[in-house]
Amino acid sequence: MANRKINKRDIEKLLSQWGQEFTVLAPSKESGIATMSKWNGKHANFLDWYRNTVIPPKGNFFPSMEKMFNFQKDKEGYHLELPASNEQKQLIFGIRPCDARSLAILDMTFKDAYEDPYYLPKRKNALLVGLGCTNPYDSCFCTSLGINPAESSDVDLMLIDIGDEFLIEEVTDKGKKLIAAASGVEEASEADEAKAKEAKEASYNKVTRKIDTEDIKRKLSSSFDNQDFWEGIAAKCISCGICTFLCPTCYCFDINDELAKGLGARFRSWDSCAFPIYTKMPMENPREEKWRRVRQKVYHKYGFYPMNFGVIACTGCGRCIRQCPVNWDITQTLDRLPAEA
């Protein structure tokens, strides 16, 4: 069946319509930075400025802090009160192909050793409507990781900018159902399809930062013990959590209790392998030195994740490069990996 299309000025109506069934999230700067936040129900002005969010959409499924349960302590012991199950249906409008892929990568971890009861229900209840990039950042390198910035198989519907309109690709059955009843949608012509194809090519070519994943794989296998190299690479890193917290595929968390006067709550919150305390144990810390932590980050993404799940845990979204306060650039590190001895 032929694809469909929608005029850009009808996006507001479409979002309103979806808003009756779902909690619609869309790019927003209302909080002070670009995030995927509850759509204001008013306009789709984000189409004018949106390139990508600062906080990746992982934050909508695995927030920076999340209450796991409440507890009460009395003479008989502890009583737990689990949070009400989250049946809220989220529709994320405008997710970029890199970020949609990152969720597919996160899914692997959150249902691997055990089924994560916080992440997975939110994921299952969510619909993703992708929006192709027309203007990637100079820090983006998604094409080197097999992603076309205007194409995605990790969403339910994919929108591609073809001028005054978006071409709509139905990726999943859920997406098909979503668009079937949508107003303002019409059938796309062959000319529209051709425009979409051109748009994808154009977006692809705009991504100029490149890495060579095959070469990286080879070199990583012999670089682990090269302390000199890692010390040099790590020297300017300040060990903050920006690159890991804002990474759409980093999932480490810490667990802490808040307890006052017998009432308490357990929280989980983002944690980072960049912090020395992350691996601190009573007698020792295997990653006390900075170079070991920097090495860990690079290996986790490009070495260990592929070993465990068969995919690189990086989508080339470029957030770690854009946001780093010392311009530590992972593509440079990967590029400078020493050749095999």
Partner 1 sequence: MEQRLRQEAKTLLEQGKVDYIIGFEQGSLKFTTTPLITKDKGDADRLVINPFIVNNLSVYLTDIEGRVGVVAKGCDSRSIVSLIQDNKVNREEVVIIGIPCPGIIDLSKIEQLVGKDRDELDDITRDGDRVVVTVDSKKKDFPITEVLFDNCLGCEFPTPKEYDVLLGEPSTPVADKTVSRAKVETLEGMTQEQRWQFWEEEFSRCIRCYACRNICPACFCQRCFVEESEPQWILPIPQWQDNLIFQAIRNIHVAGRCTDCGECDRACPVNIPLRSLTKEMYDLVDELFHYKSGMDKDAPPLMTAYETEEAEDFIR
Which stretches of the chain bind partner 1, using CB under 8 A?
A: 31-33, 51, 54-55, 64-65, 135, 137-139, 235-236, 238-242, 245-246, 254, 256, 258, 267, 269-270, 272, 275, 277, 290, 321-323, 325-329, 331-332
Residue among 13 and 322 whose Cβ is closer to partner 1: 322
Which runs of consecutive H residues, i.e. helices, occur in 111-187? 119-124, 173-180
Cβ neighbours, 10 Å, residue 295: 25
Distance of CA 155 to the CA centre of its chain: 13
Q: How far is the CB of 152 from partner 1 (least distance, A)?
A: 23
CB of 161 to partner 1, least distance (A): 17
Kindly tell me which of 180 and 326 has the beta carbon lying closer to partner 1. 326
Please identify, using beta-carbon distances, which residue of 200 and 290 lies nearer to partner 1.
290
| Residue 249, token pair as written in the block | 């595929």
Q: How far is the CB of 264 from partner 1 (least distance, A)?
A: 11
**CB contact at 8 A, 130 and 95:** yes
The residue among 137 and 204 lying less far from partner 1, judged by its C-beta, is: 137
Give whichever of 310 and 325 is closer to partner 1, judged by the CB atom: 325
We find the least distance from the C-beta atom of residue 51 to partner 1, in angstroms, to be 7
CA dihedral 330, 278, 53, 121 (to 10 degrees): 130
Q: Between residues 2 and 33, which has the closer beta carbon with respect to partner 1?
A: 33
CB of 142 to partner 1, least distance (A): 15
Crossing angle of helices 290-299/227-234, nearest 10°? 100
Closest CA to 215 of 334, 332, 331, 309: 334
Please report how close the Cβ of residue 239 comes to partner 1 at its closest, in angstroms. 6
Q: Yes or no: say if 139 and 321 are a contact pair by the CB < 8 Å rule.
A: yes
110 vs 270 by CB, closer to partner 1: 270
Give burial (CB, 10 Å; 0-12/13-18/19+) of 185: middle
- Kindly report the length of the chain: 341
Which residue type sits at 2?
A
* Nearest-approach distance from CB 237 to partner 1, in angstroms: 9
For residue 321, give the 3-state DSSP assignment.
Answer: helix
> Ramachandran region of residue 31, left (φ > 0), alpha (ψ -120 to 50) or beta?
alpha
